[in-house]
Amino acid sequence: MSTKITLDLKGMTCDSCEHHVGDALASAGLTDLEVDWHRGLATGIDPGSFDLTKATDALEGTNYEIVSVSTSDDEPTDITTSGDDDYDLLIIGSGSAAFAAAIKARDLGASVGIVEKGTIGGTCVNIGCVPSKALLRPAELYHQAGHSPFAGVDTSAGDLDLGVLVASKDELVGALRQEKYVNLLDVYGIELIRGTARFTGPNAVEIGGRSITASRYLIATGASPWVPPIEGLDDTDYLTSTTALELTELPEELIVVGANAIGLELGQFFAHLGSKVTWVEALDRIAPFEEPEISDQLREHLFSDGGQGYEKAMARRAGRDGERVWL
């Protein structure tokens, strides 16, 4: 029987350290290694040949030191069921967490279904990390083209077609969604079930009138934009982080309520394209969960690009005055 080995180490400071430590432990007989320099931990499987002395010798002369070693039996977990359930694991949601769990379960031999009521792929690929970064970079280049930092060197940004830019973003998102999510369903033998799941019992859900049972469930429904309770906001045709990425016409002015990561990056995107952007942050500084020095640098950089902001400012009411919105 194989044994799981967990080692506490000190001296690791970066991703490269993980590779060095992993190589040393592999040479001492550990397999299936996972090394995390942030936590100072390494885990692996000892098939019966692990030599701690050899591992210590392999780390001799480096900055890495094994502090402690713990062991546990590594008996495979049988996650399949002998009952009559439709699936061993049913996952509600189809984002990155859902797929990671589904793939691991399939590797262990379980039957897996994924339930999705909307677009497969979750937040990151559809309305989060991927589309925002696909827009941020071209906006940065557009801004740089129109703002030469050198005296005597004139540059111009040229024409902007936000509709074409957004269409190219949508094309990238569609390709990645197909490659990283949809195609994996057949590769791993995961069944996609369309609809909204509603629990009808301890091991049963109803989806579109169909009753489905599973021995285990994982709820991985992710997140959605939160709209603050600002009086009158519903009358302003406000944007969220999702709908802002779908605009095909550039707004002349934009008020961004919230100046943390998402608010800052979306505001900077529109500022770089030419919108007049104002951030409103309820806490005492922009990027309030970062170190104060980082907030100061971000404020200087963003405001030098033409943005402005209010800190320690609570948005209480909003309304519309003709074509303009006030806050």
| pLDDT at 25 exceeding the cut of 90 | yes
State the chain's mean pLDDT as an integer: 92
Is the domain of 132 the same as that of 196? yes
In a domain, 79, yes or no: no
Is the domain of 172 the same as that of 212? yes
What's the pLDDT score for residue 224? 84
Residues 6 or more apart in contact with residue 257 via CB below 8 angstroms: 228, 230, 263, 280, 315, 327
| pLDDT at 6 exceeding the cut of 70 | yes
What's the pLDDT score for residue 1? 65
In a domain, 205, yes or no: yes
What's the pLDDT score for residue 275? 96
In a domain, 224, yes or no: no
CATH number at residue 241: 3.50.50.60
Is the domain of 248 the same as that of 312? yes
Q: How far apart (Å, rounded) are the C-alpha atoms in residues 207 and 251?
A: 41
Is the domain of 61 the same as that of 25? yes
Domain end call among 219, 241, 265: 219
Question: What is the mean predicted confidence (pLDDT) over 184-207?
Answer: 95
Question: What is the mean predicted confidence (pLDDT) over 3-26?
Answer: 93
Is the domain of 96 the same as that of 209? yes
Band of pLDDT at residue 219, cut at 50, 70 and 90: very high
> How far does CA 251 lie from the centroid of its chain?
27
Band of pLDDT at residue 322, cut at 50, 70 and 90: confident
Share of the chain above pLDDT 90, in %: 81
Q: How far apart (Å, rounded) are the C-alpha atoms in residues 93 and 118?
A: 9
* Cβ atoms 150, 128 nearer than 8 A: no
- CA proximity to 174, closest of 129, 121, 223, 242: 121
In a domain, 123, yes or no: yes
User: What values do phi and psi take at 54, rounded to 5?
Assistant: -65, -40
What's the pLDDT score for residue 198? 97
What's the pLDDT score for residue 223? 83
Note down the domain range covering 50.
Answer: 3-73
Is the domain of 204 the same as that of 238? no
Residues 6 or more apart in contact with residue 89 via CB below 8 angstroms: 79, 101, 102, 105, 110, 111, 112, 113, 214, 215, 216, 217, 218
What's the pLDDT score for residue 82? 45
pLDDT in tens, 118-135: 999 999 999 999 999 999
| Number of domains, the chain | 3
Is the domain of 17 the same as that of 59? yes
Is the domain of 101 the same as that of 188? yes
In a domain, 31, yes or no: yes
Token pair of 303, please?
């405001």
Token pair of 136, please?
């941020």
What's the pLDDT score for residue 83? 65
Is the domain of 321 the same as that of 238? yes
Question: What is the mean predicted confidence (pLDDT) over 285-292?
Answer: 95
Cα dihedral across residues 230, 236, 242, 245: positive or negative? negative
Is the domain of 172 the same as that of 268? no
| pLDDT at 37 exceeding the cut of 50 | yes
In a domain, 225, yes or no: no
Residues 6 or more apart in contact with residue 185 via CB below 8 angstroms: 114, 191, 192
For the stretch 258-267, contacts whose Cβ atoms lie closer than 8 Å and that sit 24 or more positions apart, written own/partner, are 258/228, 258/282, 259/286, 259/287, 259/288, 259/309, 259/311, 260/286, 260/287, 260/288, 260/289, 261/287, 264/298, 264/302, 265/132, 265/136, 266/132, 266/241, 267/302, 267/307
Query: Residues 203, 208, 209, 211: what is their CA dihedral angle, to the nearest 10 degrees?
Result: -20
Q: How far apart (Å, rounded) are the C-alpha atoms in residues 242 and 266?
A: 10
Domain end call among 20, 42, 73: 73
In a domain, 249, yes or no: yes
pLDDT in tens, 77-98: 555 554 689 999 999 999 999 9
Domain end call among 34, 50, 73: 73
Question: What is the mean predicted confidence (pLDDT) over 190-205?
Answer: 95
| pLDDT at 75 exceeding the cut of 80 | no
Higher pLDDT, 116 or 153: 116
Is the domain of 92 the same as that of 63? no
Is the domain of 55 the same as that of 22? yes
Question: What is the mean predicted confidence (pLDDT) over 137-152?
Answer: 90
Band of pLDDT at residue 54, cut at 50, 70 and 90: very high
In a domain, 158, yes or no: yes
| pLDDT at 212 exceeding the cut of 60 | yes
